[in-house]
Amino acid sequence: MRFAKGHGTENDFVILPDPDGTLSLSAASVAALCDRRAGIGGDGVLRVVRTKAFDEPLTGPAASSAECEWFMDYRNADGSVAEMCGNGVRVFARYLLSAGLLAETSFGVGTRAGTRQVTVHEDSDITVDMGPVGMLGRGTAVLGGAELTGERVSVGNPHLACRVAGPVAGVDLGTAPVFDAAEFPQGANLEVFCESEPGVLDMRVYERGAAETRSCGTGIVAAAAAASGPGTDAQWTVRVPGGTCTVALESGSARLRGPAVIVAEGDIRLPG
Ligand SMILES: N[C@@H](CCC[C@H](N)C(=O)O)C(=O)O
């Protein structure tokens, strides 16, 4: 089958075009595709399916085919399903355009968290309207035996965004954080961030279902929201190991802007 590979600030994805929804994608197949030695390698898989052909029952705010022709079926590298992926939506949009599946510069993309509106800029950056940002109160995780406290934030998917005192490079993200199951029944993504200069955050992330990645769009929004405080409108530049994005927080919603590129295309026999 055809595949493409793309990334947004080095959060990288295997893209599988499946317009008519005929592909049966097991967790084992996803993990094999994302394997960096035996597969293509990626932090996740973006299955590109027409919204009207996406037949999984949706529990959250459903994306309708009237709002968006295409649905991003997101899978983490370990094969688990996620509600949303901010960098993934940008890369998904770039793929739709480069594959000639859409020609507009503004359109909706379906996700399990609802439709996300995308705008493609002349400098080739892409902005995603990330929808409502839910500030859910304080939360904790244990990382390497030490307790970290931060803000629980929903960006369609769950996050614990923790402000740390020192440079984020000093935080050991080599082991999986342990979350309180009462606070995070579905698990969570963990962000550590500090304000390196006014209006600029440095951030690293340990992603649910993938370990440390070089960027996470929903995590960038969660860190910006945690740094601002509930109900505060603000603009942030967020630096991650894989690059830089900007976030605009306004009236409880967020817009995320950053790059997205397709780096390879080819054929692969689907593993599993
Ligand atoms: N990298 C993504 C988030 C992908 C999903 C996440 N690991 C989860 O399980 O919630 C992003 O750019 O937002």
DSSP per residue over 210-229, as a string? TEEES--HHHHHHHHHHHH-
Within 10 A of 122 (CB to CB), how many other CB atoms are there?
Answer: 6
Q: What's the complex ipTM?
A: 0.99
> Does residue 30 lie within any of the structural domains?
yes
Does the C-beta of 217 come closer than 6 Å to ligand 1?
yes
Ligand 1 mutation pick, 157, 179, 203, max ligand atoms within 8 A of CB: 157
* Residue 267 contacts residue 2 (beta carbons within 8 Å): yes
> Does residue 118 lie within any of the structural domains?
yes
What's the pLDDT score for residue 268?
94
* pLDDT tens digit sequence for 150-201: 999 999 999 999 999 979 999 999 999 999 999 999 999 999 999 999 999 9
Residues 6+ apart with CB under 8 A from 241: 10, 204, 214, 215
- Please state, in angstroms and rounded to a whole number, the distance separating the CA atoms of residues 229 and 234: 10
My answer on whether 156 and 247 are in the same domain is yes
Question: How many Å from the N-terminal Cα to the C-terminal Cα in the chain?
Answer: 13
Query: How far are the Cα atoms of 164, 219, 238, 240, 247 from residue 196, in angstroms, in the given order?
Result: 11, 17, 10, 12, 16
Alpha helices in the chain (DSSP H): 27-34, 86-98, 217-228
Query: How far are the Cα atoms of 69, 85, 241 from residue 50, in angstroms, in the given order?
Result: 6, 18, 33
Annotation marks residue 85 as catalytic? yes
Output the CA 177–ligand 1 centroid distance in Å: 15
Query: How far are the Cα atoms of 38, 40, 63, 72 from residue 32, in angstroms, in the given order?
Result: 7, 8, 28, 20
> Does residue 127 lie within any of the structural domains?
no
Q: Output the CA angle 227-230-236, nearest 5 degrees.
A: 35
My answer on whether 115 and 200 are in the same domain is no
Residues 6+ apart with CB under 8 A from 233: 249, 250, 251
My answer on whether 116 and 177 are in the same domain is no
My answer on whether 37 and 154 are in the same domain is no
Q: Output the CA angle 121-127-132, nearest 5 degrees.
A: 155
> Does residue 272 lie within any of the structural domains?
no
Ligand 1 mutation pick, 207, 215, 221, 255, max ligand atoms within 8 A of CB: 207
What's the pLDDT score for residue 272?
67
My answer on whether 99 and 173 are in the same domain is no
The domain that holds 69 is classified in CATH as: 3.10.310.10
My answer on whether 9 and 108 are in the same domain is yes
Supply 66's token pair: 């009237």
My answer on whether 108 and 208 are in the same domain is no
Supply 160's token pair: 């614990």
Instruction: Quote the number of domains for the chain.
Output: 2
Query: How far are the Cα atoms of 84, 110, 156 from residue 60, in angstroms, in the given order?
Result: 11, 12, 9
Alpha helices in 153-262 (DSSP H): 217-228
Q: Whose CA is nearest to atom 2 of ligand 1?
A: 85
Q: Please give the backbone phi and psi of residue 38, each rounded to the nearest 5 degrees, phi first.
A: -100, -10
Q: Please list the helix, strand and coil fractions of the chain in percent, rounded to the nearest 5, in that order.
A: 15, 45, 40
What residue ranges of the chain have pLDDT lower than 70?
272
Does the C-beta of 154 come closer than 6 Å to ligand 1?
no
Annotation marks residue 68 as catalytic? no
What CA dihedral angle connects 33, 34, 37 and 40, to 10 degrees? 60
My answer on whether 249 and 263 are in the same domain is no
Does the C-beta of 79 come closer than 6 Å to ligand 1?
no
Query: Which residues contribute to the annotated binding site for substrate?
Result: 11, 76, 86-87, 157, 189, 207-208, 217-218
